[in-house]
Amino acid sequence: MQQIYHIVIKEFLHLKRDRKMLAISILAPVIQLILLGYAATMDVKDIPMIIYDMDKSSVSREFVSRFVNSGYFVLSGNVNSPDEIDKSIEKGKAWIALVIPSDFSSKILSGKQTTVQLIADGSDANSANISVGYASQIITKFTRELMIGLETQIRSRFSLPTVNPVLRVWYNPELKSRNFMIPGVLALVLMIITMTLTSLGIVKEKEAGTLEQLMVTPIKPYQLIIGKLLPFILIAAIDVLLVIIVAYWWFDLPIRGSILLLFALSGLFVLTTLGLGLFVSTVSKTQQQAMMTAQFFFFLPFIFFSGFTFPIENMPQVIQYLTYAIPLRYYIVIVRGLFLKGVGIAELWPHAVVLFAFGVIILTLSVLRFRKKLS
């Protein structure tokens, strides 16, 4: 116990001396969260649009005003030739173009079908998809309103059935993507901080040769590991707390579940990340190597395949199976469940068990490997 205590003190002295590192470990997650909270929105707003109105009638103007008044589109200009459409979309000045044919109003007024054309810049697939979706909603609504006259006339003579969907959105009624992203960021920050600190902290001593010096002292390997990891756990706990505070008071994120449970389950996740950090340190000789390994073999795949931004259900089946091997996946479900859904251990235990199993296995293997490397 005494010896572990001394190592902890030594680690804290290191941290204190390396002020820049300490500041980064504690402040970076908060800055990261604030940035992400504002930037990480997939909502598509203010879509720049150009109009090529060949009809120029009051009906077509009314039609165009529907787009402008919807709040989704911003009119970036009227054009008078197909060439100009090409140019605006090539330059990225407009994402979507609406072409109204010259017989638009005459056909509508004479009770015939008319066709308008929408041109979307597909190079940003997500935005294009959503823009076309908004546009079709507006056109459908316009169409329905044109039909109402006809419908009421018919309705007075026949009864017409309709089905209306009554929507109720749970957990995140305003559908803010921020509410979804922030819990994920908490998970991400926790992983990056603990893994980086652990792997670099140990490799640094390797590089400097001080690890060997420590080994010739009577300190046992397990004491060394515990002593080295404890300060990182403390920093991780501070980070989690800070992130929760910012999420709750700055971003008004609901915390519907139990904070205590959040800390407990975060502890389970940290077992895994510390284990992985330790593992990285055993396979790396230099800090550069350690960082490259952590970065490319762990952080990036974890970020992409944990469901953090890209929904797992959309991945090919093979990849979906692979995502079960990513511990972050389970932790993200837990964090989101606790923040947004307010679920408890009754719903989360399967994820907690898997996380615990991962933690124990990875940490044990890494410790064994670390001890072998030392002796």
Partner 1 sequence: MKIQRIIPIVKKEFLQILRDKRSFTVLLLFPAILIFVIGYALNFDVKHISLAIYDRDKTSTSRDFINNFSNTEYFDINYIIDDYKYVDDLLNRGSALVVLVIPEDFSDKILAGKETSVQVLVDGSNANTATTAIAYIQVIVQTYSINLITDVLKRVGYNFYLPVDFRPKIWYNPELSSAKFLIPGLIGFILMISAIISTSLSVVREKEKGTMEQMMVSSLTTLEIIIGKTVTYLIIALVASSFVLLVGFLAFDVAIRGSIFWLYFGILIFLLGGLGQGLLISTITNTQQVAFMVSVFSSILPTFLLSGLVFPIRSMPVFLQILSNITPAKFFLVVVRSEILKGTGPSAYWDQLIYMALFSVIMIGLSALRLLKKAK
Instruction: Report how far residue 202's alpha carbon sits from residue 283's, in angstroms, rounded to the nearest whole number.
Output: 11
Q: Of 58, 81, 113, 375, which lies in the binding site for partner 1, with binding defined by CB under 8 A? A: 113
83 binds partner 1 (CB under 8 A): no
Local structure of residue 158 (DSSP, 8 states): S
By CB under 8 A, tell whether 247 contacts partner 1.
Answer: no
69 vs 309, which CB is nearer to partner 1?
309
Q: Count other Cβ atoms within 10 Å, centred on residue 213.
A: 10
Based on the shown chain and the rule CB under 8 A, indicate whether residue 8 belongs to the binding site for partner 1.
no
Q: Is 260 in the site for partner 1 (CB under 8 A)?
A: no
- Choice between 262 and 333, CB closer to partner 1: 333
Residue 149 or 218 with smaller CB distance to partner 1: 149
Instruction: Pick from 102, 140, 210, 364 the residue near partner 1 by CB under 8 A.
Output: 140
Segment near partner 1 (CB under 8 A); pick from 155-163, 213-221, 228-236, 354-362:
155-163
**Residue from 81, 83, 156, 165 in contact with partner 1 (CB under 8 A):** 165
Instruction: State yes or no: residue 176 binds partner 1 (CB under 8 A).
Output: yes
The contacts of residue 278 (CB under 8 Å, 6+ apart) are 198, 199, 202, 225, 229, 363, 366, 367, 369, 370
* Binding map of partner 1 across residues 16-35, x = CB under 8 A, - = no contact: --x-xx--xx--x--xx--x
Q: In terms of C-beta distances under 8 Å and separation of at least 24 residues, what long-range contacts does 2-10 make, across chains too?
A: 3/218, 3/219, 3/220, 3/223, 3/227, 4/223, 4/226, 4/227, 4/230, 5/227, 6/227, 7/219, 7/223, 7/224, 7/226, 7/227, 7/228, 8/227, 8/230, 8/231, 10/227
- Kindly identify the residues of this chain, within the stretch 296-325, that bind partner 1 according to CB under 8 A: 296, 300-301, 304-305, 309-311, 313-316, 319
Q: Which of residues 183-202 bind partner 1 (CB under 8 A)?
A: 192, 196, 200
Alpha carbon distance 49, 119 (integer Å): 10
